[in-house]
C-alpha cells in the first residue's frame, strides 16, 4: 500500500512544528531556562535575607542583655538621658547601620509569544512541499516527453 505524499508532508511538517514549539514556543525550553534563572535569583535572595535575619536576631539579643549597648543604640536614634548635653558638629554624619530588606525580584510580566510563524510553517509546509513535488514531477515529465 502506497502512502500518499501529502500524508508524508503533513507528518513531516507536524514533526518540524512540534520541535520548534518544544524549543522556542510558549512554555518551551527557553522559557524553562528563564524560569530556572529566576528561581536561582530567588534562592540567592532568600539566603541573603536569612543572613540579615540572623544578624538582627543577634542584635535583639544583645540589646536585651547589654544595657550599655542599648544606651548606644538609643543615642544613635537621637534619644538622650536627662541632663546629658549633646554637641552636634556641622557636617559630621553619624554612621547609621540600616539593614537592607533584600533585593526585590519582580517577575517580568508574561508577554504573548510570537508563535504565529511556527503555526504558519506547520500549515504552509505541506502545501509548499506538495507544490515543489508537483513542479519537479511536471518538469521531469516534460523532459521525458521532449526526448
| pLDDT, tens only, 1-25 | 577 887 888 888 888 888 888 888 7
Please tell me the chain's helix, strand, coil percentages from 3-state DSSP, rounded to the nearest 5.
65, 0, 35
pTM (2 d.p.): 0.52
The grid coordinates of residue 57 equal: 536576631
Locate the domains of the chain by residue range.
29-90
Task: Report residue 137's pLDDT band, with 50, 70 and 90 as the boundaries.
Answer: confident
Amino acid at each position: 500500500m502506497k502512502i500518499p505524499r501529502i500524508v508524508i508532508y503533513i507528518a513531516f511538517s507536524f514533526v518540524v512544528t512540534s520541535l520548534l514549539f518544544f524549543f522556542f514556543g510558549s512554555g518551551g525550553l527557553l522559557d524553562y531556562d528563564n524560569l530556572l534563572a529566576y528561581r536561582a535569583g530567588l534562592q540567592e535572595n532568600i539566603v541573603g535575607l536569612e543572613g540579615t535575619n540572623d544578624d538582627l536576631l543577634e542584635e535583639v539579643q544583645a540589646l536585651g542583655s547589654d544595657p550599655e549597648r542599648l544606651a548606644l543604640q538609643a543615642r544613635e536614634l537621637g534619644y538622650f538621658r536627662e541632663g546629658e548635653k549633646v554637641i552636634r558638629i556641622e557636617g559630621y554624619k553619624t554612621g547609621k547601620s540600616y539593614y537592607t530588606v533584600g533585593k526585590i525580584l519582580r517577575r517580568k510580566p508574561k508577554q504573548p509569544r510570537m508563535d504565529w510563524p511556527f503555526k504558519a510553517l506547520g500549515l504552509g509546509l505541506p502545501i509548499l512541499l506538495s507544490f515543489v513535488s508537483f513542479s519537479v514531477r511536471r518538469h521531469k515529465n516534460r523532459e521525458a516527453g521532449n526526448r
